[in-house]
Chains A and B, each alone.
Chain A
Amino acid sequence: MKRRTFVLGGLGAGGALLLGWGLLPPRQRLRGKVPLPTGGGEVAFNGYVKIGPGDTVTVVVPKAEMGQGIFTAAAMLLAEELDCAWTQVRVEFAPVDAIYNNIATMVDGLPFHPDDNGRVKRTARWIVAKYMREFGFNVTGGSSSVTDLWDPMRDAGAMARLALASAAAKQWDVPVTSVQVADGKVSLGERSLGFGALAAQAAANLPGTWERKDITRWRLIGRPMARLDAGLKATGTAVFGLDAAPKESKYAAVVLPPSLGATIASFDASAAKAMPGVRAVVQCPGSAFGNPPAIAVVADTWWHASQAAAAVKITWTPGAGATFSSASALANLEARVARGDGRTFADRGDLVAGFKAAAFSVEGAYRVPYLAHAPMEPMNCTVRVSDGTVDVWCGTQVPGVATSAAAAACGVEPSAVRLHQQLLGGSFGRRQVADYVAMAGEIARQVPGTAVQLIWSREQDLRYSKFRPMVHAKLQAALDGDGKMLALNVASAGQAQVQGWGRWIQNSALVRVPDKTTVEGFTDQPYEWPALRVVHDSADFPVPVGLWRSVGHSYTGFMLESFVDECAAVKQTDPVAYRDAMLREHPRARAVLNTVAEQSQWGTPIAAPVAGGRAGRGVALHWSFQAYVAHVAEVEISPDNRLRVRRVVVAVDCGQVVNPDGVRQQMESGVIFGLSAALYGEVSFTNGQAVPSNFHEYPILTMTETPVIEVHMVSSDAPPGGVGEVAVPGIAAAVGNAIFAAGAGRLRALPFRLAAGATS
Chain B
Amino acid sequence: MISVTINGAPVELDVPPEMPLLWALRNVQHLHGTKFGCGMALCGACTVHVDNVPTRACVTPVSAVAGKQVTTIEGLSDPVAAAVQAAWTELSVAQCGYCQSGQVMAATALLRATPKPTDADIDAAMNGILCRCGAYPRIRAAIQDAATRLAGGAPAASPGT
- Asked if residues A694 and B38 are in contact (CB atoms below 8 Å), the reply is yes
Residues from chain B with a CB closer than 8 A to the CB of A709 are: 137
Among A63-71, A436-444, A682-690, the one that faces the other chain is A63-71
Query: Which A residues lie within 8 Å of B76 (CB)?
Result: 235
Contact A224 B161 (CB under 8 A): yes
Closest-CB distance, A208 to chain B (whole angstroms): 38
Cβ-closest chain A residue relative to B104: A234
A residues in contact with B89, CB < 8 Å? 226, 230-231, 234
Contacts of B19 in A (CB 8 A): 301, 303
Q: Are B97 and A232 in contact (CB under 8 A)?
A: yes
Q: Tell me the chain A residues, 328-380 only, with Cβ under 8 Å from chain B.
A: 374-378
In angstroms, Cα B88 to Cα A618, docked, is 33
- From the candidates B24, B37, B99, B133, name the one contacting A378 in the complex (CB within 8 A): B37
- Contact with A301, one of B27, B88, B104 (Cβ below 8 angstroms): B27
Is B16 within 8 A of A276, CB to CB? yes
Nearest-neighbor residue (CB-CB) of B101 within chain A: A236
The answer to whether A703 touches B139 (Cβ under 8 A) is yes
B38 & A226 in contact (Cβ 8 Å cutoff): no
C-alpha spacing A424/B73, complex, angstroms: 19
Q: Which residues 212-232 of A sit at the B interface, judged by CB distance below 8 A?
A: 224-227, 229-232
Is B92's CB under 8 angstroms from A695's CB?
no
Does residue A748 face the partner (Cβ distance < 8 Å to B)? no
In the complex, the answer to whether B97 meets A425 with C-beta atoms within 8 Å is yes
Main secondary structure of the interface of B (DSSP, over half): loop
Q: Which residues of A contact B33 (CB under 8 A)?
A: 235-237
Q: How many angstroms between the C-alpha atoms of A329 and B104 in the bound complex?
A: 43
Report which of A226, A303, A426, A672 forms a contact with B23, defined as CB distance below 8 A.
A303
Interface: A575 (CB within 8 A):
no
How many residues from B make CB contacts under 8 Å with A?
Answer: 64
Assess the A700–B132 pair: CB atoms within 8 A.
yes
Is A704 on the interface with B (CB-CB < 8 A)?
yes
Which one of A146-154, A187-195, A318-326, A658-666 is at the B interface? A658-666
> Smallest distance from the beta carbon of A757 to chain B beta carbons, Å?
26
Nearest chain A residue, comparing its CB with the CB of B99: A376
A226 lies within 8 A of B27 (CB): no
| Shortest Cβ gap from A134 to chain B (Å) | 32
CA distance A665 to B97 in the complex (A): 13
Q: How distant is the Cα of A706 from the Cα of B133 in the complex, in angstroms?
A: 12
Asked if B53 is at the interface of the complex by the 8 Å CB criterion, the answer is no
Segment 66-93 of B: residues with Cβ below 8 Å from A: 72-74, 76, 84-85, 88-93
Q: Are A700 and B130 in contact (CB under 8 A)?
A: yes
B27 to chain A, nearest CB (A): 4
A236 vs B26: C-alpha distance in the bound complex, in angstroms? 13
With A234-B89, A302-B27, A458-B38 known to touch, is A376 a contact of B45 (CB < 8 Å)? yes
B35 at the interface (CB under 8 A from A): yes
Assuming A226-B89, A665-B95, is B134 touching A301 (CB within 8 A)? Answer: no
Closest CB of chain B to A580's CB: distance in Å?
29
| CB-defined contacts of B161 to chain A, threshold 8 Å | 224
Q: Which of A9-17, A105-113, A122-130, A238-246 contacts B (4 or more CB under 8 A)?
A: A238-246
For the complex, give the distance between the alpha carbons of A188 and B130 in Å: 54
Nearest Cβ distance between residue A460 and chain B, in whole angstroms? 11
- Let me know if B35 and A229 touch, CB within 8 A: no
Is the pair A377, B98 in contact by a Cβ cutoff of 8 Å? Answer: yes
Q: Is A230 within 8 A of B32, CB to CB?
A: no
Give the distance in Å from the alpha carbon of A701 to the alpha carbon of B133 in the complex: 10
Contacts of B84 in A (CB 8 A): 234
B116 adjacent to chain A (CB < 8 Å): no
Q: Write out the residue numbers on chain B whose beta carbons fall within 8 Å of the beta carbon of A225.
A: 159
Is the C-beta of B42 less than 8 angstroms from some C-beta in chain A? yes
Docked-complex contact A377 and B96, CB < 8 angstroms: yes
Task: Report the Cα distance A539→B138, complex, angstroms.
Answer: 41
Taking the complex as formed, is B54 at the interface, i.e. its CB lies under 8 A from any CB of chain A?
no
C-alpha gap A97/B24 in the complex (Å):
39
Q: Is the CB of B98 within 8 A of A376?
A: yes
Selected contact of A704 from candidates B30, B127, B158, CB within 8 Å: B127
Q: List 9 A-B contacts (CB under 8 A).
A: A230-B92, A230-B94, A301-B19, A425-B98, A664-B160, A668-B138, A695-B42, A696-B42, A702-B136
Beyond A377-B37, A457-B39, list 20 extra A-B contacts (CB 8 Å).
A67-B97, A224-B160, A226-B92, A229-B97, A230-B94, A232-B97, A236-B101, A236-B104, A239-B32, A240-B35, A276-B16, A301-B23, A301-B24, A376-B99, A376-B132, A377-B35, A425-B35, A694-B39, A695-B42, A708-B137
